[in-house]
Structures are given as C-alpha cells and as structure tokens.
Structure 1
Amino acid sequence: MYATLDDLKTYLNITTNDDDALLTALIERATQIIDTAT
C-alpha cells in the first residue's frame, strides 16, 4: 500500500470519519492500478 487512510485524510484535511469507506476503496483501487502499471 502506498498511502494509508490517515495519510490521505491528513493530506486532504479531512477530519470526519464519514467518508472512510469511500477513501479506503479509493486507496485500494489506486494501489491496484499502480501495481498493474509497474
């Protein structure tokens, strides 16, 4: 994994937990794309 949920939330300045599932899915998909491309 290239980034954690906490890393992304800090980078985007997100302080709530409302979108954790969406952000986790985004991280997982981005990781898959990067791994496939490299």
Structure 2
Amino acid sequence: MKNIAAQMINFDREQMRRIANNMPEQYDEKPQVQQVAQII
C-alpha cells in the first residue's frame, strides 16, 4: 500500500508541476492511474 500511495503522490506532483508550467495534462498518464486503481 505504501508503494501505491507513493505513486499517487508522485503523480500528483507531476500534475502540479505541469499546471505551474502552464502545460496541458498528458492523457497518456490517466490510463496508468486507472491501472493502479484496478490493482488495488
């Protein structure tokens, strides 16, 4: 569970980094989040 939480935190950090840089969200990462949810 700690690894999954760490992955979600890293994902959130990447999203915030993109928003700060005014970059559009990459749709390629959304399926990865869904896969993590399925594993849980």
Report the TM-score, using the length of structure 2 for normalisation. Answer: 0.49
CA RMSD, 1 decimal = 0.9
Bigger relative contact order (CA 8 A; separation at least 6): 1
* Identity rate, percent: 10
Higher helix share: 2
Runs of at least 5 residues in structure 1 that lack an aligned partner in the other structure:
1-17
Report the TM-score, using the length of structure 1 for normalisation. Answer: 0.51
- Deviation for aligned residue 1:37: 0.4
Are 1:20 and 2:26 an aligned pair?
no
